[in-house]
Copies of this chain bind each other. A is one copy, B any other.
Amino acid sequence: MSSAVLLISCPDQKGITATVTNFISTSNGNILHADQHIDDQSNTFFMRIEWSLKDFHLSRELIAQKFGHIAQTFNMSWELFYTDNLPRVAIFVSRHLHCLIDILYRHKAGRLDCEIPLVISNHKDAEKIVRDYGIEFVYLPVTKENKEEQEQKQLEMLKLHKIELILLARYHQIFTKSFVEHYPNKIINIHHSFLPAFAGGSPYAQAYQKGVKLIGATSHYVTEILDEGPIIEQDTVRVDHRDSLEDLKERGEDLERLVFSRAIKLALQRKILTYNNKTVVFD
């Protein structure tokens, strides 16, 4: 049975929750989940509300139209989703395939509610496995000289496949500001460190050099500033002096897969809002 999900943020004031829940209730909706949060510093109200469409009196067109009036009253930013509209996802990858393989496995096992019609890579390593899954693989090698040209081709492919969420599964190219602006809060990266520690290249080598006792992984939305976007999910795992750099990488791969897959799942379930370069995650 399908349900509708509203993600809302607006300046806090009295009556928001009552108004939103009345909107659903008076049209015979059954609320399945409701979470709200108020950020005291910025006096911002956040809400995620999900209700069953079974016996709901409004058509989908009318839901958007009628809720639009409410939204205007409270000066809301809002998004409306339906759980039977599977998000269309593209994956970018370079030569480290563990995150890609993990996503494809989870998707096939029915753990990720989305469609994955497209994988783009600047290398050919992933080609066979992607094609084995019946997914289109597009090889677009990137150099300093051809980056903008290749990004144009990437954007065409993304539009062609009606992609709304992009996953960077260890894609080792930095997008131009222009590319990122096409997909605000729609590109999720996995970085192999506990950000903000060890941003940039070779985070495991940095961690090894520093002698940290934990390594981390961070999944975040991509903004125009490298490794600085809103953090969705992070975790750490213990290491010690016996672990070589290669050991760190191996342990880190397990952590990356876990952290990345959790972040992806949260995004697909429409559980993430962003503000002030941070996230509200209604898990």
Contact = CB atoms under 8 A, between A and B. Distances in A.
Given A21-B21, A197-B197, A231-B211, A14 B32 contact: no
A281 B240 contact: yes
Given A18-B22, A240-B281, A214 B194 contact: yes
A111 interface: yes
A151 interface: no
A196 interface: yes
B279 A241 contact: yes
Contact of A17 (B34, B231, B235, B277): B34
Give the secondary structure class of A's interface: mixed
A233 B213 contact: yes
A240 B35 CA distance: 14
Contacts of A254: 258, 261
Interface of A: 14-19, 21-22, 24-26, 28-40, 98, 101, 105, 109, 111, 194-198, 210-214, 216, 230-236, 238, 240-242, 244, 250, 254, 258, 261, 276-281, 283
17 contacts: A14-B25, A17-B34, A18-B18, A18-B21, A18-B24, A40-B244, A98-B109, A101-B105, A194-B214, A210-B231, A211-B230, A211-B279, A212-B234, A213-B232, A213-B281, A214-B216, A236-B236
